[in-house]
Structure 1
Amino acid sequence: MQILVVGGNGTLGKAVVARLRELGHSVISGGRHDADVYVDLADPESIKNMYTDLPELDHVISTAGQTTAKALVDMQPEDNMLSVQSKLLGQINLVIVGQHYLKDGGSFTLTTGIKKDDPIPGGTSAAMANGGVTAFVKSAAIDLPRGLRINAISPNVVDVSFEKLKSQFLGYTPVSITDVAEAFVKSVVGKQTGQEYQIY
């Protein structure tokens, strides 16, 4: 199978790419930097151009999407737009555009996160985007054509990033990035749709 991983050069993306390749899949990384194919999730035209260059995709995974980390009291409407344009609409547009390019029976796997279920200070914008993606996945699952599937993965903070992020996640128990990567494999090779796999 040919699988595109948008955000494939990020911490989580690298783990997902490595696991899929270990299983024998052909994997292409997408992103704005150091990727096999360029794509900017905040730019719908960039997404269209990417799909035009990759006409034989079976599955699309997104481990990408930027969010704003800022206390609500300090936030202005424009601060929230990063999360809206990148994490929320960027991933949604991967599906809206990509449904016309993926092979029959293919799938999309998007990424949400624990902040929508277990809030942290400064995480409001990310929680909003994550919640929107989750709702989109559940609804899109009954509308996608040609046997296409869609799921989301919602990870806790992962072990390899915990040292850097532990001041934001005090009291949290990090999860193994290997376990999170395996959830992406489950979404791609399985048959479920409209699900959010929570790795908490």
Structure 2
Amino acid sequence: MTDAALPDAALLARIDRLESLDAIRQLPAKYALALDMRDMDAMVSLFPADVRVGKDASGRLALRAYMDRTLRSPFTGTSHHIGGHVIEFDDPDHAHGVVYSKNEHETGDEWVIMQMMYVDDYVRTDGRWFFARRLPLYWYATDLNQPPIGDNKMRWPGTDWAEGNFHKLFPSYAEYWAREGDHGGPVAEPAPLDKYLETMRRGAAAPKVKVRAD
């Protein structure tokens, strides 16, 4: 069936999906710009009015206060560079995704570079897409002049080296290094539409992370 022959409802649904994809793709870029320019009102407006903040607080006012405190120390300036973004839909008003971010932080007399990914949930409320949740998974954070070698790749000024969670959402990384070569089995069928991330996770739970304002 050609596009011209599609029923109106099906065509409208496809247009809605394209518009939703574009709106969701802009969320991480808007988040990075607001964060780096320290526009806390613009940043919290990317979350729904009832956003959860920790275990005991909710709302944009609480999120703005938390972010305002967090971004004052040890940070002086930041720059977040958004990379690849995979988005999948649960239904027309709910989606999830993974987006890469390479970040730089001015922290007094040290310059901390970081590689990470965000594992996001998105929700559409009153016709507008928001972040429902952001889970940051870090690979490394270190001063520009101190290469992050070994298992413990995370270090902020004045802290000890610690392990990140960059690879823990997807079992394939540990499985790859646990074997000596190709596993020898048949190549898996391509993942179903909107199931690429679920297929890669293979039921793995999200790791527990200590959230920083990145």
TM-score normalised according to structure 1 size: 0.27
Bigger Rg over Cα: 2
TM-score by length of 2: 0.25
Greater strand share, 1 or 2?
Answer: 2
The structure carrying a bigger helix percent of its residues is 1
Higher relative contact order (Cα pairs below 8 Å, separated by 6+ residues): 1
